[in-house]
């Protein structure tokens, strides 16, 4: 299926929120091309993210086939390494949602690089199609209504709690992402989160 039309609006909203957070943060936000700590260790991606990544892969195949081929090879190799201990269904790539699976995922494959990361350049081959988590990582983002502010551990050194709070990013105030995820899951029949490696490897196998 195609990425829903509303995804373009979602990306615009989040990118604008990031730009404002970056403006407020100034030199405290040290994220730069080649800083890849957040690209190591898998994280859950939604079915909306998965569709966006697949579309990005198709576009990359059309514009730079060798680069796409190298990335797909990394995805296949990553899935081969991760399948045995995958906390979910390794045939579909869908993560388990029970307490045991969630606990297992917390320490799962912490040293595994994202297959979209080009090891030669330290940049993302699917940057324009990257998941929402990637778009919001770095600046302070609140975890839930009553949660604290989470920031990248490499950023905001020397900043006080008050200064960090003043840079808070509110990425999706109207919860558009949840509506679009529900739309994609209903249309595709696939529900639940996956990880980038399985998403790209599944695209390879089609």
| Tens-binned pLDDT, residue by residue, of the chain (206 aa) | 789 999 999 999 999 999 999 999 999 999 988 899 999 999 999 999 999 999 999 999 999 999 999 999 999 999 999 999 999 999 999 999 999 999 999 999 999 999 999 999 999 999 999 999 999 999 999 876 666 888 999 999 999 999 999 999 999 999 999 999 999 999 999 999 999 999 999 875 44
Cα 182–Cα 124–Cα 53 angle in degrees, nearest 5? 25
Q: What is the C-alpha separation between 124 and 69, in angstroms, rounded?
A: 14
Are the beta carbons of 55 and 2 closer than 8 angstroms? Answer: yes
**Residue in the block written with tokens 């990582």:** 137
CB atoms within 10 A of CB 80: 11
Token duo for residue 118:
């080009």
Are the beta carbons of 149 and 64 closer than 8 angstroms? Answer: no
DSSP-assigned beta bridge partners for residue 141: 150, 169
Q: What is the C-alpha separation between 71 and 29, in angstroms, rounded?
A: 28
Are the beta carbons of 117 and 105 closer than 8 angstroms? Answer: no
């Amino acid at each position: 299926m195609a990425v829903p039309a509303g995804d373009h609006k979602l990306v615009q909203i989040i990118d604008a929120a990031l730009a404002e957070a970056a403006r407020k943060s100034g030199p405290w936000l040290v994220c730069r091309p080649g800083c890849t700590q957040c690209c190591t260790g898998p994280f859950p991606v939604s079915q909306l993210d998965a569709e966006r990544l697949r579309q990005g892969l198709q576009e990359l195949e059309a514009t730079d086939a060798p680069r796409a081929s190298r990335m797909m090879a990394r995805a296949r190799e990553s899935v081969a390494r991760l399948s045995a201990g995958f906390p979910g269904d390794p045939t579909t790539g869908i993560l388990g949602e029970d307490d045991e699976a969630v606990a297992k995922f917390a320490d799962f494959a912490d040293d595994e690089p994202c297959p979209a990361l080009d090891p030669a350049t330290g940049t993302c081959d699917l940057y324009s199609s990257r998941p929402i988590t990637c778009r919001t990582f770095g600046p302070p983002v609140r975890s839930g209504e009553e949660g604290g502010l989470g920031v990248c551990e490499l950023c905001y050194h020397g900043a006080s709690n008050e200064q960090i709070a003043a840079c808070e990013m509110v990425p999706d105030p109207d919860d558009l992402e949840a509506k679009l995820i529900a739309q994609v899951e209903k249309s595709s029949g696939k529900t639940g989160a996956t990880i980038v490696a399985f998403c790209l490897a599944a695209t390879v196998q089609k």
